[in-house]
Amino acid sequence: MSEMLAGKVAVVTGAGGGIGRGIALAMAAAGAKVVVNDIGASLSGDSTSAGPAQQVVDEIIKAGGKAVPNTDSVATRASANNIIQTAVEQFGRIDIVVNNAGNLRDRVFHKMSDEEWSQVIDVHLNGTFYVSRAAANHFREQESGAFVHMTSTSGLIGNFGQANYSAAKLGIAALSKSIALDMARYNVRSNCIAPFAWSRMTSSIPANTPEEKARVLKLQKMEAGKIAPMAVFLASDAAKDVTAQIFGVRANEIMLFSQPRPIRSVHMSEGWTPETIAEIAAPAMRHHFMALERSPEAIDWDPI
């Protein structure tokens, strides 16, 4: 076992399988005591079970680590508080929060229901806020702590049929930046990972056409466990100077994402009119317009 996270206590949400499971196991292997949070829900949210969280805890204990399960939902303030409280009650403190819990309700935008919108926003964006907020006071009082949030290229770049998921994931990137700014004075760091990995969530991606089948085949080569080393690094003291960043992890690649900044400016001394914008400003900026593309089109090379 590594000692990179020795003495630290971590909460990993959505840790019953896939990426979250890999992170929980890696945190424990690096010496952290881990709260394995998972409500054990199906992708549709129809049923829940304590089994997945307990199974990961059993794996950690069998390997010589320390962990406890938690089955509270991230989607309400009260239940999110319970997740963090489990860490404090069982292990005496909280040092690391990995906001990984997620769900999908994919639907083309003009057919998306209010419920499909709310269910995804509640888990991804609100859940990230609630769990982070529950840990924030502990981090402030001890003047240390690390947040690792899962964003997605669906939000950073774009994707079909995921307006709810994309909005939540881009919101998480902005939330992470705000946390980093507000809590830097307390030595609290906040970073995002955009993971590329085949998991239970991505297994719902359709594979009907030859193009879709080829895309899924590439995804299946990207192991969920490959995300964990970056999460462990960001949670460790080795990353004490790393905050407000967005990283991508895809198989054996690590990417650093840019963040929005002005790329072109045009000036009209007497002020703009709609007509002069159409005649001068828009043509001057058009060369710099972002293409209407999805994540697979922007990141179009095969996994390494």
8 Å CB contact between 128 and 172: yes
First to last CA, the chain: 27
Sign, CA dihedral 130-84-15-54, equals: negative
Please count the helices (runs of H) and the strands (runs of E) in the chain.
12, 8
DSSP state of 246: E
Cα–Cα distance between 86 and 230 in angstroms, integer?
25
Half-sphere exposure of 163 (CA within 13 A, CB side): 12
Could you list the active site residues?
165
Q: Angle, nearest 10°, between helix axes 127-142 and 163-183? A: 10
